[in-house]
Each structure stands twice: as C-alpha cells, then as structure tokens.
A and B are shown apart, each in its own frame.
Chain A
Amino acid sequence: MLALVVAALAACGDGAGPGDALPDPEADPLTRSLIDPGVSSDVRIERILAIAEDRSPGAVHALLRALRDRSQAAFLLAPDEDQDLGYRAVEFKKTGDDAYPMERVAAVVALEKTGSYVALPDLLLALDDRNEVVQNHVARALVRLGSKAGIPVLLANLEKRILQNETANQILEDISGEDMGFNPDAGWALKNVAIQKWEAWWEGVRAAGTKLPIEGRPYQQGMDLVADRRIAFIVDMLGQMQFLYHEQARATLARMGAPALPLLRAGVESARRSGNATTRAGIAHVLAHIDHANSRELLVDLLKDQHPTVRSRATESLGQLGGAAAIQALSGALDDVDPAVRLAAVSSLGRVGGDDAIVSIRGFDGSADAALASAKILALFEATGGKEQVDAVLAMLLAVDIPARNAAHTVLARLTGDDAGYDAMATEKDRDSAVRRYRALLEG
C-alpha cells in the first residue's frame, strides 16, 4: 500500500513531469538571491554555501540554477501548452566572459553536501563546463552520488594548466585515497610519470569495478522521486523537435550509464503507446554508450520496432557495443525490409568483425542501392582488419562523391587509429598523399 501511496504522490508531483508546466527557473526568491547581479560575487558565494546542506527541493533547484553555465548546456527546457510546437526553451541569460567560475564551484560543493540525486543529471552536464576547475569539483560530487563519469575528465585535466591540473590531482587523491606523486610545479617529464600512474589506477578500478572510498550508492530508479521525474523528463526530451534538446538529453543519459536503463525502457514503452518514433530512435542512440547486458537486450527489442529509423539506429548501436550476441542480431537485420536497416547492419558487422561477421557480410546482397554496395565493401575491409578490399576503399578516398570519401575515411581512421592527414575537401594531390600514408599504415 505504501508503494501505491508513493506512486500516487509521485504521479501528482509538481515540477519536471513531461506534461506539467515548469515554473520560471528564476522566479523564486531563493534562486534570485543566488544569482542576484546587485551584490558582489563573494556575497553570492556566501549565499550559495549557506544552503549547502539543505536537501529541500527548493534549495536544490536554486543551487542547480546557480550551477548552470551556457557552456554546459544551451537551454533549460519548459513545456508550454501555448506554443504551437509544444515547448518553450528557456535560454541562459548569462553570456559573455567567464567571470564567475567560483560561484559554480560553490554550487557544486553545496550540491555535493546535499547528497541529492536530483542534481545528478545537471552535474553530468556540468562536466562540460568551460572551466576545468568547475569540472574537477563536479567529478568529485558525482563520485559521492555513485557515478564515476567524471574520472576521465579529471585524468584529462591533469594535462592542463597549473590550477586546473592541481585541483584535478587533489580531487583524484580525495576520491581514491592514493597519492601518485603528481607535483604541479614539476616539469612535464615528472608530471607525465604521475599521470601514467593515475591512468593505470583508473584502468584497474574500471576493470575490477572497485568501489572508491568516498563513493556513494549509485542512483537507482525509486530512490528519489523528484530525481526520477527529472530523468524521465530528460528521456522525454529525446522526442522533442530541436536537436539541442537531443544533444543535451543524450549527453546526460549516456553519462548516467546503467542507472538510466530502467527509465529508458519506460521511455520506449511510453513512446510506443504515443507513437513517437523520434523518442525511440533517440533512445536507440543513447544505448550505444551504455555497455550493459540490459542495454543490448533493449536494442535487440528495438530491432523489431515498426519504424525503420529506430531499427537502423538500434543496429548501429549494437555495432558499437559489439559482442557475440550482437553478431547474431545484426546478421538477422541484413534481411530487413528497409534498405537503411540493411545498410546499418552490414556496416555494424564490419565494425564488430570476426569470422561469423565476415561470413554474414559476404552473403549480403548490396545491389539494391549504391550506398549498400559501398557499405558492403567497407564492412568487408574493416571486418578483415584491412586485408580485403584495400584498393577499393583507398579509391573511395579519391572518388568524386564526397560522402563516399568521408565514409571511407571514417572506417580507415577507426581501423588504423590515424587520420593520415586526410581531408575529404582537400585537393586531389593532398588526398593522394593521404592515400599513400594510409596504404603505408595498412602495410606496416
């Protein structure tokens, strides 16, 4: 019964539900006080830190507004029934120089202290903040919320300038309890030794799934009803009109990883009921970034979707995730009624590679469309590790057709790990030089 009451309360909650009108994000007095341009930055920071342990939704939402910067995401999104197209976008009014990164750091610190999962999606987006010090603090806050999504960002920031690399190292030490001897004042030879140690540490942690000393419990659906609604709204954004919504939603959900899967599955079911193929296609894209058995299972389910683009995107995503189960599903998709799905399937089999994939690619009939024929050549080339179709693929780099050049270049770069200085728009002479470099890479 408690679950029923909770469900009822959740269903009638305010805020970010897909069908509800969001309040103006800057309307309430607390939010206004945190971003008040009439006081100094120091005063705003004091106000932010003063509510650092307040877990109430009002305080968390005010802190989320103080956290936001145009570099993290272009828009806040609010449904608006008065608009023909169903939504209004709420832009960030704060533009121009990066005058107040310390306010964003304060907001991150305050949100970390609240320990509220409501902040999880916004913190994941804040890893894109233009200021690396903000990114570093975000990475630590995320670990407290059970997410390691920020650790690669910390490692990358070790190679940045003095304050950026210093805070990155400090936070790596905080979250790991380790000291790799990184000295921000040392020369790069010494710093690189420490960076390599940190990278080896991360490889070990990732492979073993080690829980870090300060790591919190990972988010799961049902732990925080406001967070659930917020994430469900972000899934819903995948079905909206504008690409900015998609970009923002995809980045958030991909970084959230496995904890997002139940809400993505719910999103698929809801989008099937409403007939929104765009949402399902968006979810298929997101799943490519979540390497998990349930992710593959959902993608295989999406291969049976009635909309061909949903099936073709699910096919592409399975190709990116790879694995034996993917080969079987992709081989089946080679017979799809829609040529776009067949194209995605043969390309994905090339990417996954292996003997079974090669057999399937060889048996594929690509005669129906020029794009299918090219895709088969590229797939066979990639699946065989660059042993077959070499001349045909290198010839594509010199083709009249620019899309063919780009398609060949993408596969070559993926296979060799080198772009050979190729530019599809360059002169024939320059492209020819790149072809020779690619040939040398393949032969070497």
Chain B
Amino acid sequence: MTTAKLMGLLILLGASAFLVMHVMSRPDGPDRGPGPRSAGWEPPGRSYREPLPFKKSEDCKACHPDVWSEWYDSHHRIAYTNPEVQKLSTGFQGKGLDCLPCHLSRPMFETGFGVRPLERLTRRADGVDCFTCHYWPEGNAMLTSGPLGGAAAEAPCQPAVTPSMRSLQLCAPCHNQHKVHEEWKETRFAEEGAGFKDCNDCHMPQVERQNAAGGLRAGRSHRFPAAHDRDVLRSAATVSQSLSERTLFVTVHNSGVGHNLPSDERHRAVDLHLVLHTGDGRPYDVRIERWRNPYRDEFEAVNPLPNPGDEYKKTVTVPELLSDIGVRVRRVPAPHRPKRKVWYPASTQIPAGEKRELWLELPDGVNSVTVRLWYRANPFQADKDSVLLHEKTIPE
C-alpha cells in the first residue's frame, strides 16, 4: 500500500468515525416536540384499547353538567366564534390563519408539550374545548389530575390520571405565544414556597363539586376568569394618588398580577386618565399614560423606560384649557428580581410587582382632579366598553 493510499484510508476512517460519533452525540430533536412524550409529560397508569365513544364537548355534559356549564360560559368556548377575535384575526384568513391553532386547538396531548398547537377546523362553535385539554388520543382516554372515585372505572369517557393535567406546559403552548409564561417565571409567584401561585391558582380557582356518592370533593373552575372578568381585572392594580399644592402624585402598581399588566395580546391597553374639574362645571378628560405592547408594525413606538429606575418627562396638552401638563414618570423596580428579561423592547407593559410613579403640575384653574385607570380590550375601545379599574377624585 502506497503512502498516499494509506493516508487516504486514514482520512476516510477518521472522517467516518467522526461522523458516526457526531451523529450519535447529536440529539435527534426529541426535545423539540415529539408529542406528549416531551419534557413534562407523565403518562397515566392506564390506557384503553377501545376508541373513546365521545366526539364532542356536548357529550361530556350529561355526567359533568357543572363543569360543562362553566366552560360553556367561558372565553375558551368562544375562542373561535367571538366577534372580537373574528375581527382581529380577519376571520382567520391571511395572517389571521396563524391565530387558528390556539383558537380551534386539537388535543394538547396529541400535539405535545413545548411545541405550537395545531388546529382542527371542525366543531368551530366549541373553540378550545374539553378535548383540547383532556383528550389523550394515544391512550383513548380522557385525562384528569385525579384522584378518581370508584365509579370512574365504568365511566364511558374512559378516564385516566396523570399529574401532567396540572402542568403549566398544558397552558403554555397557547398562552406563551406572547410570553406570559416567561413573564410569570420571573415573578415572586413562581418561587417555591408559601407564596407560590401558578396559572391554575388564579385562572382555575378551587371550587367544591359533588361527587358520585353525593359528598363534596375539590375541583377547579372551568370559567377561566381573566381579562374578561371584571373582578379579576379590578384586583390587578393598586392606584394611589395625593395632591400637594398643585402637584399631583400618582402611583400605579402591578400588585395582583403574576405577569405583565396588561398581558398577553398586543391589543390590550391600560390607560391612566385625569379628569380635570374647573369652575365652569365641564370635565376635561385627558389621557396621561398608556401601557401596552405595541403591534409589530408600530415602528415609531419606543419604551421610554427601558431599565428599572429610569425616568422620563413629557408634556400632555389639554387643548380645551389651552394648557400643557408637565409629566414626570419613573419606573420603580419590583422588589423581587428587579431586573427582568426584556422580551419586547418597545413594550410599556408594567411587569409584575413594578410601579409607575407620576408627578404632574395641574393647570391653573383646576380645582379638583379625578384619577381613572381604564382597562381596554383594544386600544380603540371607548370608555363605555372598557373596564374602570380605579376612580378617585381629589380633593374629595
């Protein structure tokens, strides 16, 4: 064998060995969504040989009327048919097609944790339904977090227990599309201990249900109270205000939310308004600040407070009073993890635990001022359709 041939053979052997080692050491992508077998999935103790006899959420009603009724009144049920959603997604056409997988989802235990859900196209009136969260096609079972009563063995929905039903990974495929899950992970609520709260604690609160034997058992609400629930919204923020001479001091604190305020969708907005009262009896309503995550094509949008502790000044004009209001705004960091990951640099949402402090010089002639905090489902929503989170007039 010539030297050249020997060298060639060595290179060939070396390259082959390297290639084999590399391929063997390289993950074949199982962490990228191999169905429910991905991280976080704990299979139930049993699966069934017979196909599930049920095909739609209506089939669940007979045995679970209370749960079914809660879901029926929830925004999960109208995730597809909701006129607001239909409008914002342009009827799920064009770019709106990308909204479909989360608004008409197939079972999460079919698509898998950690990947984007997929759409089902049919049973449109059911939106995000019982099957989306409970159905495990591979095991022909409806999943529950348990425990199961004695009658469950004969239940036609073929129930099986898995702790994965309590996993946040069940919510994340849809609700982390706008980084809500990531935001929560940086809050004090995500710390193990007495103060721990996850999605379920606020959005699936505990309720009492009757069990098959007529007794009571603990269950979880399937109304999913959130941005469409006035009580939940009003627990989100704490607003305080004080007046010293002509200087108004307002604090808006994200005190009750385990994620940004407003959260999730880009079209949500929280607005701080002042209603100025003068001697003429007319109220002068002016928006002082708006907190929201702008749409991606709002290129002019800039977050003036990119870092905790930042301050900025601006002027708000009240044309009817021929007057300008000088406003100073400060970003007060949260006590827990004051420095947060920035997901959307142009966003002015208030992270959990943070405050915004505002100082304003009231215009001459203003006798009193009403401080209002509005929650708007979209930035164009009128006051009459929005939720008033706070209202206080000073001096009273």
Contacts and interface: CB of A to CB of B under 8 A. Distances in A.
Interface of A: 1, 4-5, 7-8, 11-12, 18-19, 70-71, 74, 84-86, 89, 91-93, 95-98, 130, 236, 239-243, 246-247, 270-271, 273-279, 281, 307-310, 312, 339-340, 343-344, 369-372, 401-403, 405-407, 409-410, 424-425
B35 A371 contact: no
List the 8 shortest-distance A-B pairs measured between CB atoms, nearest first.
A406-B91, A275-B34, A309-B118, A274-B29, A340-B121, A276-B33, A8-B19, A278-B115
Interface in B292-311: 296-297, 299-303
Given A74-B296, A241-B173, A273-B28, A92 B98 contact: no
A18 B32 CA distance: 10
Contacts of B185: 84
Interface string B144-182: 000000000000000000000000000011001100011
Contact of A98 (B181, B182, B299): B299
A18 B29 CA distance: 8
A406 B86 contact: yes
Contacts of A84: 39, 114, 185
A95 B99 CA distance: 26
Contact of B122 (A74, A98, A369): A369
A236 B301 CA distance: 31
A241 B115 contact: yes
Given A85-B182, A406-B86, 16 more contacts: A1-B11, A4-B16, A84-B39, A84-B185, A86-B32, A274-B28, A274-B30, A275-B37, A279-B33, A309-B106, A401-B81, A402-B83, A403-B124, A406-B93, A407-B91, A424-B86
A178 to B, nearest CB: 34
Given A12-B18, A309-B106, A371-B124, A95 B301 contact: yes
A271 B39 CA distance: 17
Nearest to A413: B93
B93 to A, nearest CB: 6
Contacts of B86: 402-403, 406, 424-425
Interface in B1-38: 8, 11-12, 15-16, 18-19, 22-23, 26-35, 37
B370 interface: no
A7 B20 CA distance: 11
B301 to A, nearest CB: 7
A278 B174 CA distance: 13
A95 to B, nearest CB: 5
Given A339-B122, A371-B124, A246 B98 contact: yes
B29 A273 contact: yes
A274 B93 contact: no
A85 B172 contact: yes
B209 interface: no
Nearest to B56: A369
Contacts of B35: 275, 277
Interface string B92-104: 1101001100000
B116 A5 contact: no
A197 B118 CA distance: 45
A405 B33 CA distance: 36
Nearest to A96: B302
Contacts of A92: 345
Contact of A242 (B93, B106, B116): B116
B87 interface: yes
Contacts of A279: 32-33
B343 interface: yes
B30 A275 contact: yes
A3 to B, nearest CB: 10
From B29, B112, B120, name the one whose CB has the most chain A CB atoms within 10 angstroms: B29
A8 B24 CA distance: 13
- Most chain A Cβ neighbours within 10 Å, of B18, B33, B181, B297: B33
B198 interface: no
9 contacts: A19-B26, A96-B300, A240-B116, A242-B176, A270-B29, A274-B34, A279-B32, A344-B121, A406-B86
Interface string B62-89: 0000000000000000001101001100
Nearest to B40: A84
B48 interface: no
A239 B33 contact: yes
A91 B302 CA distance: 14
Contacts of A98: 299
Nearest to B30: A274
B263 to A, nearest CB: 16
Contact of B81 (A74, A91, A242, A402): A402
Contacts of B99: 243
Contacts of A8: 15-16, 18-19, 22
B91 A85 contact: no
A409 B116 contact: no
B122 A372 contact: yes
Nearest to A247: B98
Given A242-B177, A371-B121, A401-B81, A95 B116 contact: no
A91 B123 contact: no
